[in-house]
Amino acid sequence: MRKVAEEIIKAKFCIALTGAGISTESGIPDFRSKDGLWSRYDINEYGYLHSFLKNPAKVWKMLAEMAELFEKVKPNPAHYALAELEKLGLLKAVITQNIDGLHQEAGNKKVIEFHGSFNTLTCLNCGKKYSKEKIDLKNLPPRCSCNGILKPDIVFFGEPIPTKALNEALELANKSDLILVIGTSCAVYPAAALPIIVKRKGGKIIEINREESELSYLADYKLLGKAGEILPKVVEEVKKLMKNRLQKIQ
């Protein structure tokens, strides 16, 4: 952890890539886990854009369950640790595959939501946007004032990554000399390509996961375990090193 802390301090441009694993400790099951949504809802019936367009009322039953879950959860120590790294000026941005908004709630200012967000919804008819707080989920599917169907601004399977998010993420990866990969198996592209871009440009990869992933063979450092336990300890090491260096200068 001390070596990882040294790398974070030494880096000129450090970013983080996060996945479902950072939010499981907040009480959000990984979609693919035994308790995840795909264990109860067939991904082919509920996870694809064409499924939503064909039968929005059906898919909204699952989405309403997600919305209710997101209302209850709070950021965990891993989210707060990343926010602290940003406040210290050591983390330039978080690129997340999550749609729960917990990074922003913890205090991160620069967050690229690769798969969109559940915090806003868009009318498929007129394009009007709504915040999730203004949506009544008692009558499904929720509708716009024009009577159009509302869709959460999340990326379904069969739907492209938002162009702005993709371009920003690629730009950040090309600038970076260090990437923290946290709670993601790096099995899904194009997000999985971001650490590879950093590595190819001579940067380093720090992986923080419960178990080894498809990226592990490329990682310069692997810290295996719960992100909520590991990241706060890494931040403490960072602060100790910064304090020691300041004392030496004085």
User: Domain of 14: which CATH number?
Assistant: 3.40.50.1220
Two tokens, residue 120: 């806003």
What is the spatial distance between Cα 169 and Cα 160, in angstroms, rounded to a whole number?
Answer: 14
pLDDT of residue 39: 67
Show which of 102, 137, 154 is a domain's final residue: 154
What is the spatial distance between Cα 22 and Cα 83, in angstroms, rounded to a whole number?
Answer: 13
* Domain identity same for 55 and 82: no
* Domain identity same for 61 and 145: yes
Our answer to whether residue 115 is catalytic in this structure is yes
* Domain identity same for 132 and 248: no
Catalytically annotated residue among 50, 79, 103, 115: 115
* Domain identity same for 90 and 211: yes
pLDDT of residue 228: 97
* Domain identity same for 45 and 97: no
pLDDT of residue 141: 94
* Domain identity same for 242 and 135: no
What is the spatial distance between Cα 101 and Cα 223, in angstroms, rounded to a whole number?
Answer: 25
How many domains, the chain? Answer: 2
Q: Could you tell me the residue range of the domain that residue 49 belongs to?
A: 29-72+117-154
What is the spatial distance between Cα 21 and Cα 76, in angstroms, rounded to a whole number?
Answer: 12
Specify the 3-state DSSP secondary structure of 106.
Answer: helix
Cβ(183)–Cβ(82) under 8 Å?
no
Show which of 154, 176, 211 is a domain's final residue: 154
* Domain identity same for 233 and 131: no
- Where are any strands of DSSP class E within the chain? 14-18, 93-96, 111-113, 116-123, 129-131, 150-154, 178-182, 204-209, 221-224
* Domain identity same for 64 and 134: yes
pLDDT of residue 55: 96
Closest CA to 103 of 180, 19, 215: 19
The enclosing domain of 63 has a CATH number of 3.30.1600.10
State which residues of the chain have pLDDT below 50: none
pLDDT of residue 8: 98
* Domain identity same for 242 and 141: no
* Domain identity same for 149 and 227: no
* Domain identity same for 66 and 177: no
- The pTM for the full model equals 0.91
* Domain identity same for 35 and 99: no
Residue 10 to residues 3, 7, 18, 205, 215: CA-CA distances in angstroms? 10, 5, 21, 13, 23
Show which of 128, 154, 180 is a domain's final residue: 154
